[in-house]
A and B are shown apart, each in its own frame.
Chain A
Amino acid sequence: MFVLMVCDIQQRFSEAIWRFGDVVKSTLFLTEVCTELGIEAIATGEAACHA
Protein backbone atom coordinates (compact mmCIF):
# COMPACT_ATOMS: atom_id res chain seq x y z
CA MET A 1 0.00 0.00 0.00
CA PHE A 2 1.01 3.57 -0.58
CA VAL A 3 1.40 6.52 1.77
CA LEU A 4 2.50 10.09 1.06
CA MET A 5 4.94 11.47 3.62
CA VAL A 6 5.39 15.25 3.70
CA CYS A 7 8.40 16.37 5.70
CA ASP A 8 8.81 19.81 7.24
CA ILE A 9 7.50 22.11 4.53
CA GLN A 10 7.24 25.03 6.89
CA GLN A 11 7.06 28.75 6.54
CA ARG A 12 10.41 29.41 8.17
CA PHE A 13 12.23 27.57 5.39
CA SER A 14 10.75 29.57 2.53
CA GLU A 15 13.73 31.87 2.16
CA ALA A 16 16.45 29.35 2.96
CA ILE A 17 15.62 26.41 0.73
CA TRP A 18 16.67 26.23 -2.90
CA ARG A 19 13.58 26.22 -5.17
CA PHE A 20 11.27 26.11 -2.17
CA GLY A 21 8.28 27.24 -4.22
CA ASP A 22 8.74 24.40 -6.70
CA VAL A 23 8.97 21.92 -3.83
CA VAL A 24 5.66 23.20 -2.48
CA LYS A 25 4.01 23.06 -5.90
CA SER A 26 5.09 19.49 -6.55
CA THR A 27 4.07 18.37 -3.06
CA LEU A 28 0.73 20.10 -3.42
CA PHE A 29 0.19 18.31 -6.73
CA LEU A 30 0.96 14.92 -5.22
CA THR A 31 -1.22 15.61 -2.20
CA GLU A 32 -4.15 16.32 -4.49
CA VAL A 33 -3.42 13.19 -6.51
CA CYS A 34 -3.32 11.12 -3.33
CA THR A 35 -6.61 12.58 -2.14
CA GLU A 36 -8.15 11.68 -5.50
CA LEU A 37 -6.81 8.14 -5.21
CA GLY A 38 -7.69 7.65 -1.55
CA ILE A 39 -4.06 7.49 -0.47
CA GLU A 40 -3.35 8.91 2.95
CA ALA A 41 -0.86 11.71 3.53
CA ILE A 42 1.16 12.12 6.69
CA ALA A 43 2.82 15.44 7.45
CA THR A 44 5.20 16.47 10.18
CA GLY A 45 7.08 19.55 11.24
CA GLU A 46 10.61 19.87 12.48
CA ALA A 47 11.92 21.60 15.56
CA ALA A 48 15.56 21.91 14.69
CA CYS A 49 16.79 25.16 13.25
CA HIS A 50 19.05 23.59 10.66
CA ALA A 51 18.01 25.76 7.75
Chain B
Amino acid sequence: MRIKFFPALRLVMPHGGGGARSKPFAEQVPAKLGPTVEPLAAALADNQAVFARAAAGGGKRARPADGEAPEASAAAASPAFSATPKTRFSMLVPEVKARLVSMLGAGEGSSTAPLAGLTAVVCGIEAHVCVQQTVADLRRDGADVIVVADAVSSSRRGERATALRRIAAMGGSVASAEAAAFRLLGDASSPHFRAVSRMVRVRAATIGDADEALLA
Protein backbone atom coordinates (compact mmCIF):
# COMPACT_ATOMS: atom_id res chain seq x y z
CA MET B 1 0.00 0.00 0.00
CA ARG B 2 1.29 3.43 -0.86
CA ILE B 3 0.44 6.70 0.76
CA LYS B 4 0.03 9.94 -1.09
CA PHE B 5 3.04 12.23 -0.66
CA PHE B 6 5.09 9.38 0.79
CA PRO B 7 5.46 6.79 -1.91
CA ALA B 8 8.23 4.93 -0.13
CA LEU B 9 6.15 4.31 2.94
CA ARG B 10 4.78 0.82 3.29
CA LEU B 11 2.04 0.02 5.74
CA VAL B 12 2.74 -3.41 7.07
CA MET B 13 2.23 -5.25 10.32
CA PRO B 14 5.54 -4.96 12.18
CA HIS B 15 4.46 -7.33 14.93
CA GLY B 16 4.34 -10.34 12.73
CA GLY B 17 7.97 -11.24 13.01
CA GLY B 18 10.09 -12.33 15.93
CA GLY B 19 13.20 -10.84 17.47
CA ALA B 20 13.81 -7.68 19.40
CA ARG B 21 11.81 -5.60 16.94
CA SER B 22 8.67 -7.64 17.17
CA LYS B 23 7.21 -5.22 19.73
CA PRO B 24 9.47 -2.22 20.25
CA PHE B 25 6.85 -0.23 22.11
CA ALA B 26 3.31 -0.72 23.18
CA GLU B 27 0.34 0.22 21.09
CA GLN B 28 -3.14 0.22 22.35
CA VAL B 29 -5.55 -2.16 20.72
CA PRO B 30 -3.47 -2.69 17.60
CA ALA B 31 -6.08 -5.14 16.38
CA LYS B 32 -8.50 -2.23 16.08
CA LEU B 33 -6.31 0.61 14.96
CA GLY B 34 -3.32 -1.14 13.52
CA PRO B 35 0.28 -0.72 14.60
CA THR B 36 2.51 2.27 14.18
CA VAL B 37 3.48 2.50 10.53
CA GLU B 38 6.51 0.39 9.76
CA PRO B 39 9.22 2.90 8.81
CA LEU B 40 8.49 4.92 11.91
CA ALA B 41 8.24 1.83 14.09
CA ALA B 42 11.69 0.76 12.94
CA ALA B 43 13.15 4.18 13.67
CA LEU B 44 11.57 4.20 17.11
CA ALA B 45 12.96 0.73 17.76
CA ASP B 46 16.42 2.00 16.88
CA ASN B 47 15.93 4.93 19.24
CA GLN B 48 14.79 2.70 22.05
CA ALA B 49 17.65 0.30 21.44
CA VAL B 50 20.08 3.11 22.20
CA PHE B 51 18.52 3.61 25.61
CA ALA B 52 18.20 -0.08 26.33
CA ARG B 53 21.91 -0.43 25.60
CA ALA B 54 22.66 2.52 27.83
CA ALA B 55 20.64 1.01 30.67
CA ALA B 56 22.47 -2.28 30.28
CA GLY B 57 25.84 -0.58 30.06
CA GLY B 58 25.77 1.71 33.04
CA GLY B 59 23.57 4.55 31.95
CA LYS B 60 25.64 6.33 29.31
CA ARG B 61 23.51 7.09 26.28
CA ALA B 62 25.34 6.13 23.15
CA ARG B 63 24.47 5.62 19.53
CA PRO B 64 25.21 2.30 17.85
CA ALA B 65 28.85 2.02 16.92
CA ASP B 66 29.82 3.31 13.49
CA GLY B 67 29.21 0.63 10.94
CA GLU B 68 26.95 -1.33 13.22
CA ALA B 69 23.71 -2.23 11.54
CA PRO B 70 20.56 -0.93 13.22
CA GLU B 71 19.31 -4.51 13.31
CA ALA B 72 22.38 -5.53 15.27
CA SER B 73 21.93 -2.76 17.81
CA ALA B 74 18.25 -3.54 18.13
CA ALA B 75 18.98 -7.18 18.62
CA ALA B 76 21.42 -6.32 21.37
CA ALA B 77 18.80 -4.35 23.21
CA SER B 78 16.82 -6.35 25.71
CA PRO B 79 14.25 -5.59 26.78
CA ALA B 80 12.96 -3.03 24.27
CA PHE B 81 10.90 -0.10 25.45
CA SER B 82 7.35 -0.86 26.39
CA ALA B 83 4.48 1.20 27.73
CA THR B 84 1.18 0.29 29.27
CA PRO B 85 -1.74 0.62 26.86
CA LYS B 86 -3.83 3.75 27.30
CA THR B 87 -7.41 4.75 26.69
CA ARG B 88 -7.12 8.47 27.48
CA PHE B 89 -6.93 11.05 24.72
CA SER B 90 -3.57 12.14 26.07
CA MET B 91 -0.15 10.60 26.04
CA LEU B 92 0.41 11.63 29.63
CA VAL B 93 -1.01 8.51 31.25
CA PRO B 94 0.50 7.69 34.65
CA GLU B 95 3.05 5.28 33.22
CA VAL B 96 4.37 7.79 30.69
CA LYS B 97 4.39 10.56 33.26
CA ALA B 98 6.35 8.38 35.67
CA ARG B 99 8.85 7.68 32.91
CA LEU B 100 9.27 11.37 32.17
CA VAL B 101 9.75 12.17 35.85
CA SER B 102 12.36 9.44 36.12
CA MET B 103 14.12 10.79 33.03
CA LEU B 104 14.36 14.18 34.71
CA GLY B 105 15.91 12.67 37.80
CA ALA B 106 16.46 14.14 41.22
CA GLY B 107 16.59 17.88 41.53
CA GLU B 108 14.18 18.56 38.70
CA GLY B 109 10.51 19.27 38.91
CA SER B 110 8.42 19.85 42.02
CA SER B 111 5.17 18.67 43.54
CA THR B 112 3.25 21.32 41.62
CA ALA B 113 5.31 21.16 38.43
CA PRO B 114 6.73 17.63 38.26
CA LEU B 115 7.86 18.02 34.64
CA ALA B 116 9.60 21.38 35.04
CA GLY B 117 12.89 21.23 33.20
CA LEU B 118 11.51 19.03 30.45
CA THR B 119 11.03 20.18 26.87
CA ALA B 120 8.72 17.80 25.00
CA VAL B 121 8.76 17.80 21.20
CA VAL B 122 5.33 16.50 20.23
CA CYS B 123 4.34 14.84 16.95
CA GLY B 124 1.33 12.78 15.94
CA ILE B 125 -2.40 12.68 15.56
CA GLU B 126 -5.00 13.88 15.96
CA ALA B 127 -3.97 17.46 16.56
CA HIS B 128 -7.26 18.52 18.10
CA VAL B 129 -7.69 15.44 20.29
CA CYS B 130 -4.71 13.58 21.71
CA VAL B 131 -2.00 16.06 20.72
CA GLN B 132 -3.89 19.01 22.17
CA GLN B 133 -4.75 17.18 25.39
CA THR B 134 -1.19 15.93 25.72
CA VAL B 135 0.04 19.51 25.46
CA ALA B 136 -2.49 20.64 28.06
CA ASP B 137 -1.30 17.94 30.47
CA LEU B 138 2.37 18.67 29.82
CA ARG B 139 1.88 22.40 30.36
CA ARG B 140 -0.12 21.76 33.55
CA ASP B 141 2.82 19.76 34.88
CA GLY B 142 5.35 22.45 34.04
CA ALA B 143 6.93 21.13 30.85
CA ASP B 144 7.87 23.27 27.90
CA VAL B 145 6.30 22.00 24.70
CA ILE B 146 7.23 22.26 21.04
CA VAL B 147 4.52 20.97 18.71
CA VAL B 148 5.87 20.18 15.26
CA ALA B 149 3.52 21.73 12.73
CA ASP B 150 4.45 19.47 9.84
CA ALA B 151 4.28 16.39 12.08
CA VAL B 152 0.76 16.81 13.42
CA SER B 153 -2.57 16.61 11.67
CA SER B 154 -6.25 15.81 12.01
CA SER B 155 -8.92 14.35 9.83
CA ARG B 156 -10.04 17.87 8.95
CA ARG B 157 -7.78 20.82 8.23
CA GLY B 158 -9.93 23.20 10.25
CA GLU B 159 -9.67 21.06 13.38
CA ARG B 160 -5.90 21.01 13.01
CA ALA B 161 -5.67 24.77 12.54
CA THR B 162 -7.86 25.44 15.56
CA ALA B 163 -5.83 23.00 17.65
CA LEU B 164 -2.56 24.73 16.78
CA ARG B 165 -4.04 28.06 17.86
CA ARG B 166 -5.24 26.56 21.13
CA ILE B 167 -1.85 24.93 21.70
CA ALA B 168 -0.17 28.30 21.24
CA ALA B 169 -2.66 29.84 23.67
CA MET B 170 -1.66 27.20 26.23
CA GLY B 171 1.92 28.37 25.97
CA GLY B 172 3.14 25.69 23.61
CA SER B 173 5.52 26.57 20.82
CA VAL B 174 4.67 25.59 17.26
CA ALA B 175 7.67 24.95 15.03
CA SER B 176 8.60 23.18 11.83
CA ALA B 177 10.40 19.85 11.96
CA GLU B 178 13.56 21.48 10.67
CA ALA B 179 13.36 24.24 13.27
CA ALA B 180 12.79 21.66 15.98
CA ALA B 181 15.81 19.67 14.79
CA PHE B 182 18.07 22.69 15.10
CA ARG B 183 16.57 23.53 18.49
CA LEU B 184 17.46 20.01 19.63
CA LEU B 185 20.94 20.30 18.12
CA GLY B 186 21.48 23.65 19.80
CA ASP B 187 24.93 24.61 18.54
CA ALA B 188 26.94 24.36 15.34
CA SER B 189 29.92 23.26 17.41
CA SER B 190 28.09 20.09 18.42
CA PRO B 191 29.82 16.89 17.34
CA HIS B 192 26.46 15.91 15.85
CA PHE B 193 26.20 19.00 13.64
CA ARG B 194 27.40 17.37 10.43
CA ALA B 195 25.16 14.34 10.85
CA VAL B 196 22.08 16.40 11.60
CA SER B 197 22.84 18.82 8.78
CA ARG B 198 23.09 15.87 6.43
CA MET B 199 19.71 14.60 7.63
CA VAL B 200 18.22 18.02 7.00
CA ARG B 201 19.64 18.16 3.48
CA VAL B 202 18.47 14.65 2.64
CA ARG B 203 15.01 15.41 3.97
CA ALA B 204 14.80 18.66 2.02
CA ALA B 205 15.80 16.89 -1.18
CA THR B 206 13.30 14.12 -0.55
CA ILE B 207 10.29 16.00 0.65
CA GLY B 208 10.49 18.97 -1.72
CA ASP B 209 7.63 21.30 -0.96
CA ALA B 210 5.23 18.54 0.09
CA ASP B 211 5.15 19.81 3.68
CA GLU B 212 4.30 23.38 2.72
CA ALA B 213 0.59 22.77 3.28
CA LEU B 214 1.24 21.68 6.85
CA LEU B 215 3.43 24.71 7.51
CA ALA B 216 1.07 27.26 5.99
Contacts and interface: CB of A to CB of B under 8 A. Distances in A.
A18 B154 contact: yes
A11 B33 contact: yes
Interface string B115-159: 001111111111001110010000000000000101111111100
Contact of B86 (A2, A10, A39, A44): A44
B116 to A, nearest CB: 11
B158 to A, nearest CB: 10
Nearest to A25: B6
Interface residues of A, number: 50
B180 A30 contact: yes
Contact of A22 (B13, B32, B103, B207): B207
Contacts, number: 254
A6 B124 contact: yes
B205 to A, nearest CB: 12
Nearest to B108: A1
Interface string B73-88: 0000000010101110
Majority DSSP secondary structure for residues of B touching A: mixed
Q: Which of B87, B153, B214 has the most CB of A within 10 A?
A: B153
Q: How large is the interface on B (under 10, 10 to 19, 20 to 34, 35 or more residues)?
A: 35 or more
12 contacts: A2-B118, A3-B100, A4-B120, A5-B121, A6-B36, A8-B126, A10-B37, A11-B13, A36-B196, A44-B28, A45-B35, A47-B29
Max chain A Cβ within 10 angstroms of own Cβ: one of B37, B83, B103: B37
B184 A12 contact: no
A40 B154 CA distance: 25
Given A18-B160, A37-B185, A48-B89, A31 B47 contact: yes
Given A1-B117, A5-B123, A41 B11 contact: no
